[in-house]
Amino acid sequence: MLRLCGFDNCFVLDGGWRKWCKEGRAVSSEPTCWPPGSFPIRPRPHLLADKQQVQAALGDNKTLLLHALPPPVFSGALKVFARAGRIPGSRNVFCDWLIDTANGAYLNQDSLPDVFGPSRALNAPQVITYCGGGIAASSVALALVMLGCDNVALYDGSLAEWTADPALPMETDFPQ
């Protein structure tokens, strides 16, 4: 969200609060006071995709649609939304695959590319990530940005919006 608003000087607490404390880093429960500042919004609309842009990407070999939910949702074996499956032509990179389960942090810079390899996301001219409502897709988009990809947009309407419209196509690995 901060990148969308034009703010790049931000960081993710990689591994969360538990990892921070486990590493013995400084914490405090004392109240703090920061001086007021200004936050000029410089919108970057190209970082957010809407339903029409996703429709335009169908069959477009320059845009890769990347599904961030678990494989059973991707394949259509598990119906979570109004209709089972994925947006046609999508590839699957489940957001949990990006996390080191031992410490809750993103995989290191040497391992992350291996997760994206089969999807070909690292070489795509444009990537649109999606999930159910934009949360898991945000993690996948962040990981791509961490790897230096600046061609990533997030479809925040995701499957909640897409599957609610019966006119939009869906794809599954099973007969419906």
Residue-wise pLDDT for 116-151, tens only, equals 999 999 999 999 999 999 999 999 999 999 999 989
- In-domain check, residue 171: no
- In-domain check, residue 130: yes
Q: How far is CA 8 from CA 3, 13, 35, 66, 108, in A?
A: 6, 15, 20, 23, 21
- In-domain check, residue 102: yes
- In-domain check, residue 35: no
CATH code assigned at 115: 3.40.250.10
- In-domain check, residue 145: yes
- In-domain check, residue 147: yes
| pLDDT given at position 25 | 94
Task: Report the domain count for the chain.
Answer: 1
Those residues of the chain that have pLDDT short of 70 are 176
- In-domain check, residue 17: no
- In-domain check, residue 18: no
